[in-house]
Amino acid sequence: MTTSRPAAGGGRWVDVDPDRLTRWVDGFRERHGDYAQRPTEDGVLLAAFDGATATLHPPPGAPPATDLADLVEAARTPRRIGLLLARKSAVAVGVAAGAKLQSSKVDSSYVQGRTAAGGWSQHRFARRRDNQAKAAAREASDLAVRILLPEAGMLAALVCGGDRRAVDAVLADPRLAPLLPLRADRLLEVPEPRHAVLVEAIAAARAVSILVRDPTPPPV
C-alpha cells in the first residue's frame, strides 16, 4: 500500500507499507541521488544532495528511531493496536495484531438529517439530532469498553479515524480514560465505518507516513 496526499505548507504526504519501505527509499535515491540522514524529534530525515527531503515518521506505537535502519526494523515489527473509527451514524472498533484483525464490532445508529424547516420546527429537529448523536456516542463508547478496554495494557497504540468530533465524543466516556495515553496523533480518513473499512484501516494504521518535499527550482 502506497498512497499520497498534499501536505499543508507544501510537499506531499506518502503513506508506505512497512514491507515496501526499503524499496521506496531506493526509489528516492534513484530519483534524487545520494542522501544524508539524521534523526528528528519524531522520525528520520533524508536530505538528498539535489535539495529533496523526505521525513519518515514511524507507525503509531513504534519506538523512536535513531536512523533509517532502526525505523525500517521498527515499522516491520508486528504490534498490537486498537482501532476506533467513528462517524455520526456508525462506529467500528477492533484490535489488530500485526496486519490481522483479531476482534471487532461494528454498529450503526440513526441520526436525524438536517431539515430545511425554520422556527420551532427547526429547533425541535436540532434537539432531536443532538439527543440522537449523544445516544449514538454512548452506544459507541459501550462497544469500545467491550472490545478495547480489556486490551488496554497490551496495546501499543490506539489509532482513530473518521470524524474527529465523533471520535472525541466516544473517548469522552470516563471509562475509556486508560486508552487516552495510547491515542495516536494520526487520524485516518475513512468512509462510513463498516467491517471492510475497518480491515482496510489496518494497513493505513501500520503505514510509515513520509513528508516529501521536492527540490526548489532555480530562479529563472
Of 84 and 88, the structure prediction assigns the larger pLDDT to 84
Q: Which of 95, 107, 206 is nearest to 150 (CA)?
A: 95
Crossing angle of helices 119-147/164-171, nearest 10°? 60
- Encode pLDDT of 122-152 as tens digits: 655 556 556 556 666 788 899 999 999 999 9
Residue 1's pLDDT band (boundaries 50, 70, 90)? low
- For residue 82, the model assigns a pLDDT of 98
- Encode pLDDT of 20-52 as tens digits: 999 999 999 999 999 999 999 989 999 999 999
Specify whether the CB–CB gap between 143 and 91 falls below 8 A: yes
- CATH number, span 86-199: 3.30.420.60
List the strands of the sheet with 43-48, edge to edge: 2-6, 12-16, 208-213, 53-57, 43-48, 35-40
| Mean pLDDT of the region 86-94 | 90
Domain positions in the chain are 2-77+207-213, 86-199
Residue 86 has pLDDT above 70, yes or no: yes
Give the predicted TM-score (pTM) of the model: 0.85
At which residue does the C-alpha cell 461494528 appear?
A: 106
Instruction: Quote the DSSP letter at residue 215.
Output: P
Q: Give the separation between CA 219 and CA 175, rounded to whole angstroms.
A: 58
What mean pLDDT value characterizes the chain? 89
